[in-house]
Amino acid sequence: MADIKRFRRYKPESRGGQMHRLTEENAERQTWRACGVYWVIATLDGVQVVAYVGRSKSNISDRLIKAMDRHGDYTHFRFRRTANELTAFRAECVEFHRYGGFGGLDNAKHPPRPGGHRGHGVMCCVVGCPLNKRYR
The CA distance from 95 to 85, in Å, is 15
Phi-psi bin for 38: left (phi > 0), alpha (psi -120 to 50), beta? Answer: beta
pTM of the model: 0.85
CATH superfamily, domain 4-135, is: GIY-YIG endonuclease (3.40.1440.10)
Q: pLDDT digits over 41-100, tens only? A: 998 888 899 999 999 999 899 999 988 887 778 999 999 999 999 899 989 999 999 998
User: Where in the chain are the domains?
Assistant: 4-135
